[in-house]
Amino acid sequence: MTPARDIQGNPPAAVQRSVSHSWGQRNLSTSPTATFNSPPSSWGGALAQRGAPKQLQPFNTQDIKILLLENVNQTGQDTLRAQGYQVESLKTSLPEDQLIERIRHVHVIGIRSKTRLTERVLREAKNLLVVGCFCIGTNQVDLDYAARHGIAVFNSPFANSRSVAELVIAEIIVLARQLGDRSSEMHRGTWNKVSAKCWEIRGKTLGIVGYGHIGSQLSVLAEAMGMNVIYYDVVTLMALGTSRQVPTLENLLEEADFVTLHVPDLPETRNMISTAQLDRMKNGSYLINASRGSVVDIAALIKAMRLGKVAGAALDVYPHEPAANGDYFNNNLNHWGEDLRSLNNVILTPHIGGSTEEAQRAIGVEGEHSCCSSPPASGHSLTLFAVAEALVRYINQGITVGSVNMPEAQLRSLTLDEPDHARVIYIHRNVPGVLRKVNEILGDHNVDKQISDSRGDVAYLMADISNVRYSEIKDISDSLDGLSSCIMTRILY
């Protein structure tokens, strides 16, 4: 049987002891709600009767070029190479000019937090189909520009939540006991056994700003250690355990002994903790930021700590971060760098909240054991589709579930019993009359199934058509490309 091809391709032709890991299939870090599964779908029996899935691919897999930057986890690389893609992996990010030169020739790019895919960069990405952000955040990508040009973007919003939550718990204890200062003193040969202003965390109040995947996991861990948990979020969310939502950020700041931030980088969150908010905090309270570097006015924090208002702080993210490891965290990068490093009881870490072996593996292949042909329940997004698997499904089947900038659409897999079928993917501007014109072009073929959804100005249509010959696919593609609404056409067969 002729393997699936794309219209752009050619026509058919020793025992060692080691630290144990917690990354078993049933033990990947996910949202705390991920263990609450829906009842088995009644689809199961029907799908079991269907033929074996037919692997659709956009063109010869040897021709798919993928560039992975910033040392993407090896398991994620292996998932992509297993498809036969050409995968190049670099350990660092690239300067913008080099990035522009390299991105012109690839169909897929995988990045982490330091690579910035701006409009200037994406404008040169003439072959780019999809971006994989092997991290939680996507603010390093111009999502609107990517969507308007048919480039899907995927991330992994759940995979490192446990790692970040555990780091915050550790920092709460280290700050409360001044362990960082005592350790530094001992390294210098100074014995300084004190108990003044060192506290147990039991009975203290933790205020969580942002009760999402990380904040809610942190809530459970903190409560298990005897802390009282309050949280603030812009939407009303169900509390876990005995935690309690407060109506305003000011309420949280006035009540919490420890304040920890878990919010995205948005215009409304930039400098959300500045002089006025620090003044609202309890005297001798603590601040932790493991979210985004733009969230805290660090100059204001330095002043509050020097005045004794804030007793300690832990920062894992900064407004400007080095592009590579080295001696770069200084005043040339951030003007307050030396002042911050001079403070007592301040924990400074180099954006390592999600830097564990378990988290990086999960970011690459979270849910790889869930690659059945039946679709996941709506809303699970990348609980089942993490980045590498999401890239494969998008390239090979056009499935957008979990995309952060495209409408979510999926169709069940074609099977080997459907050899003369093709999948049409039409990304278009969301204007009236498109569906009628597309169906006129597809009218000479039976449309077995079709789905269309929109997100803002961009719409995404998928249709499986039958009784289609290879010689007809190019005509269909050219006709769709000729429509004034067209952003991108892909035909998989």
What domains are there in the chain, each with its CATH number? 54-159+366-371+379-406 (3.40.50.720), 161-348 (3.40.50.720), 411-492 (3.30.70.260)
Torsion of CA 32, 35, 36, 42, to 10 degrees: 150
Contact 60, 9 (CB under 8 A): yes
Which is catalytic among the residues 223, 321, 357, 472? 321
Both tokens of 219, joined, read: 């809530």
SS3 338: helix
Residue 321 falls in the annotated catalytic set? yes
Residue 323: its pLDDT value, please? 76
CA gap 349, 168 in Å, rounded: 11
Each residue's pLDDT, cut to its tens digit, for the chain (493 residues) gives 444 444 444 444 443 434 434 334 333 333 333 333 333 333 333 333 456 666 665 543 458 999 999 988 888 899 999 999 999 999 999 999 999 999 999 999 999 888 999 999 999 999 999 999 988 789 899 999 999 999 999 998 777 789 999 999 999 999 999 999 999 999 999 999 999 999 999 999 999 999 998 999 999 999 999 999 999 999 999 999 999 999 999 999 999 999 999 998 889 999 999 999 999 999 999 999 999 999 999 999 999 999 999 999 999 999 988 877 888 898 988 999 999 999 999 999 999 988 888 877 766 554 333 333 333 333 333 333 488 999 999 999 999 998 999 999 999 888 777 778 899 999 999 999 999 999 999 988 999 999 999 999 999 999 999 988 888 888 999 999 999 999 999 999 8
- Following DSSP, what letter does each residue of 443-459 receive, concatenated? TTSEEEEEEEEEETTEE
- Following DSSP, what letter does each residue of 156-195 receive, concatenated? -SSTTHHHHHHHHHHHHHHHHHTHHHHHHHHHTT------
SS3 content of the chain, % helix, strand, coil (to 5): 30, 20, 50
Residue 5 falls in the annotated catalytic set? no
CA distances from 225 to 22, 169, 189, 193, 206 (A): 21, 9, 33, 25, 11
Residues 6+ apart with CB under 8 A from 362: 23, 28, 29, 30, 156, 159, 160, 386
Residue 73: its pLDDT value, please? 82
Helices (DSSP H) in 211-297: which residue ranges? 213-224, 249-255, 275-280
Residue 369 falls in the annotated catalytic set? no
CA gap 311, 175 in Å, rounded: 8
Q: How many residues does the chain have?
A: 493
Q: What is the pTM of this model?
A: 0.68
Amino acid at 123: R
Which is catalytic among the residues 351, 393, 421, 445? 351
DSSP 8-class letter at 383: G
